[in-house]
Amino acid sequence: MGALRMVILGRQGSGKGTQSVRVAERFGCVHISTGDVLRAAVAEGTDLGRQAQEVMDAGMLVGDDIMNGIVAQRIAKDDISDDGVLLDGFPRTADQAEALEGMLADLGQELTVAINLDVPVEEVTKRMMDRGRSDDTEEAIARRLALYEEQTAPLLDWFSQRDLLVTVDGLGDEQAVFTRLEEAIHSRLP
Ligand code: AMP
């Protein structure tokens, strides 16, 4: 079984963070959550953290150049060449998707699959209100969902045109969703 290189797309609150941890463990690849990278930078008070905090609290997107730089640096490390990677929260814009394609090409690597973890807007809104994270104000949630439709949803077509997209139903209990993900990934692994 070759190393898994995948991206997971889905609205905030779709469960992609939780599922990504499990998928990465199951397939032995490195999990990169760009949201976690940014939250760690905020907690450490680095320059990046100071720049990112306001943007994140407002429910907006951190700039493409910053995000592409973070991922390009991380993805070039040996552990990812050897074991593969699951990108969670990246790409979120067309610019990021193009950049990712370039980074992988430079490394002589290709994506295995792009999973769309599909959960309807009404359900993710309810889940996010329930989780009560500090950046989960009602206004920020609405803005992030609108941004997702505007900036990230078009990537579904982008990946579909490259024959990489598989949509997985994200409704139901965690184990049921995980089993669907496992099957979807197995069907694509060389
Ligand atoms: P997440 O944990 O994936 O929901 O990310 C939390 C926040 O971090 C987002 O609302 C954005 O402000 C920021 N963020 C994470 N990943 C990206 C990305 N790829 N591009 C731009 N902003 C991002």
- Give per-residue pLDDT as tens, 89-111: 999 999 999 999 999 999 999 99
CATH class of 4-186: alpha beta
The residue ranges of every structural domain in the chain are: 4-186
Catalytic site residue 131?
A: yes
For residue 30 the two structure tokens come to: 């490195």
Are 112 and 5 spatial neighbours (Cβ–Cβ below 8 Å)?
A: yes
Long-range contact set of residues 173-177: C-beta below 8 Å, sequence gap at least 24 = 174/15, 174/18, 174/19, 177/15, 177/19, 177/117
Which residues have any ligand 1 atom within 6 Å of their CB? 12, 34-35, 38, 55-56, 59-62, 67, 89-90, 92, 96, 144
**Is 70 exceeded by the pLDDT of residue 61?**
yes
Are 70 and 99 spatial neighbours (Cβ–Cβ below 8 Å)?
A: no
**From the CA of 27, how far away is ligand 1's center (Å)?**
24
Q: What is the pLDDT of residue 136?
A: 82
Catalytic site residue 5?
A: no
**From the CA of 34, how far away is ligand 1's center (Å)?**
6
Is the model's pTM score more than 0.75? Answer: yes
